[in-house]
Structure 1
Amino acid sequence: MTAKPFDIVGFDLDGTLVDTSGDLTAAVNVALAAAGRAPLSADEVRPMIGGGAKHMLRLTLDATGGCDEADFRRYYKMLLASYEASISVHSQPFPGAVDALDRLAGLGVTVAVVTNKFESFAVKLLDDLGLSERFACVIGGDTLGPGNAKPSPAPLREMIERCGGGSAAFVGDSIYDMMAARNAGVPAIAVSFGFLTGPVEDLGADAVIDDYGALMPTLDRLSATWSTGAARA
């Protein structure tokens, strides 16, 4: 591929660009310990990631016995404090992700991050990993206010606007990502190596990649499909 497939390519963060499961699991287990629960493994926590920290904690607490709202708020504050303090201890980009970003930049594609993670946490993580300068913008689950996180199309539309407009595609690993892309009218690529809750085929993506080596040809194919008006209804 030598031509620019899309003007903009957006990426989810957790489970798509970066494997954050180790640090998220550690933070979850701080909250679970305060609740007197046994710790969970990263394999158990991974399917609960994607809807933001509050959603993740609620799922983990429900799975281990539940709790009342007052206790939940206390455990949530513990989780956030623990995660912020150790946000990049174990987290690393998925294999091939950085090379893919380099290739996109070389083609003149603008790249961005749209995540349901708090914007401040996303920026801190990307700073720690030395990736922040690669992205034209980072939009978090709280950036646009309540009700405007994925699966709302609002953050993807904001991404397109902040990146200067033009054609766009989105890469993610969750139903929130695929729905946001569908709602925003842009093609969605699912990564099969992400934090999946079930078969990747069930996400309803326009394309699935098993590694980042497949991203470029997939974007090329989707660009041709969408430019001829053959996109999904």
Structure 2
Amino acid sequence: MRTVIFDLDGTLADTSADLIASANACFRGLGYGDVLDPVADASTAFHGGRAMLTLGFSKVQPGFSEADVMAQYPLLLAAYGEAIDIHTQLYPGAVAAIEVLKSKGYAVGICTNKPEDLADRLLTRLGVRDLFASMIGAKTVGVSKPDPKPYLAAVSEAGGVVAQSFLVGDTDTDRKTARAAGVPCALVTFGPDGEGVRDLSPEALLHHYDDLARVTQELIG
């Protein structure tokens, strides 16, 4: 079965504001207040909790250590889990485009570096979990992207064949994952890096989800 696998954060949904809020909850707890800006620091949010904490600490605590980051990471996840869908929205046209793919016989799945339980919870809250035949999150298979194993697992769980699949993502991590798995990659230009993803030389650019059917046809038929 031909299969399309999607990253989540910055690809299917703009989760940046809720992610930044979870990191700021940690810094408020440390007495620093809201260190990260939901607009200026949005791109860092899509690189994960540790990246947000690292950026925040670099602003307020010179000489911070990895231990400082790791001490706050569980607190960040807890804060995020409690307020996971306050500001998060699916990108325009995503649901309709995925429903079109499914109606044409494509399988669709998720491969994200968000912890699986949080990804599952978010998509359930957004009312779209049932659209996806697979859900592979951080460490579901022991490793995370850009290792190809999570992608391969997402395709397999969806009932697909790797040779007839591709990845829709938004960052260099997704580009590297697709390359490691030997499959094409389409990067969205409406994510945090905008048109800058052109520099990553993906096989396709996705400017709007209205273009998903055409891009899919071009990449895997």
User: Counterpart of 1:12 in structure 2: which amino acid?
Assistant: D
User: Counterpart of 1:53 in structure 2: which amino acid?
Assistant: G
**Residue of structure 2 equivalent to 1:219:** 216
Aligned residues of 1:10 and 1:111 also touching (Cα < 8 A)? yes
How many Å separate the matches in 2 of 1:149 and 1:63?
28
How many Å separate the matches in 2 of 1:214 and 1:202?
20
**Residue of structure 1 equivalent to 2:160:** 165
Offset from partner CA, 1:26-59 (integer Å, 9 cap, x none): 1111112233434322222221133332233223
Instruction: Give aligned-pair identity as a percent.
Output: 37
| Unpaired segments ≥5 residues, structure 2 | none
Of 124, 128, 133 in structure 2, the residue corresponding to residue 131 of structure 1 is 128
- What is the deviation of 1:81? 1.1
Q: Which runs of 4+ in 1 moved over 6 A?
A: none
| 1:42 is aligned to 2:41 | no
**Residue of structure 2 equivalent to 1:21:** 16
Offset from partner CA, 1:112-140 (integer Å, 9 cap, x none): 01000000100000111111111111100
**Residue of structure 1 equivalent to 2:114:** 117
**Residue of structure 2 equivalent to 1:99:** 96
How many Å separate the matches in 1 of 2:130 and 2:102?
12
TM-score with structure 1 setting the length: 0.86
Of 147, 164, 167 in structure 2, the residue corresponding to residue 152 of structure 1 is 147
| 1:81 is aligned to 2:90 | no
- Number of equivalenced pairs: 217
**Residue of structure 2 equivalent to 1:54:** 50
How many Å separate the matches in 2 of 1:198 and 1:104?
25
How many Å separate the matches in 1 of 2:67 and 2:36?
22
| Unpaired segments ≥5 residues, structure 1 | 1-5, 225-233
Aligned residues of 2:2 and 2:220 also touching (Cα < 8 A)? no
**Residue of structure 1 equivalent to 2:175:** 178
Q: Which is further off, 101-110 or 45-54?
A: 45-54
Give the secondary-structure state (helix, strand or coil) at the position aligned to 1:117: strand
- What is the deviation of 1:97? 0.5
Aligned residues of 1:52 and 1:141 also touching (Cα < 8 A)? no
How many Å separate the matches in 2 of 1:58 and 1:198?
26
- What is the deviation of 1:172? 0.4
How many Å separate the matches in 2 of 1:64 and 1:16?
30
In structure 2, relative to structure 1, the CA distance for the partners of 1:211 and 1:175 (3 Å cut) is same
User: Counterpart of 2:74 in structure 1: which amino acid?
Assistant: K
- What is the deviation of 1:195? 2.1
Q: Which is further off, 90-99 or 188-197?
A: 188-197
Aligned residues of 1:53 and 1:117 also touching (Cα < 8 A)? no
Give the secondary-structure state (helix, strand or coil) at the position aligned to 1:171: strand
- What is the deviation of 1:60? 3.1
Q: Which is further off, 195-204 or 18-27?
A: 195-204
Q: Which is further off, 74-83 or 33-42?
A: 33-42
Cα RMSD (Å) of the superposition?
1.8
TM-score with structure 2 setting the length: 0.91
How many Å separate the matches in 2 of 1:64 and 1:203?
32
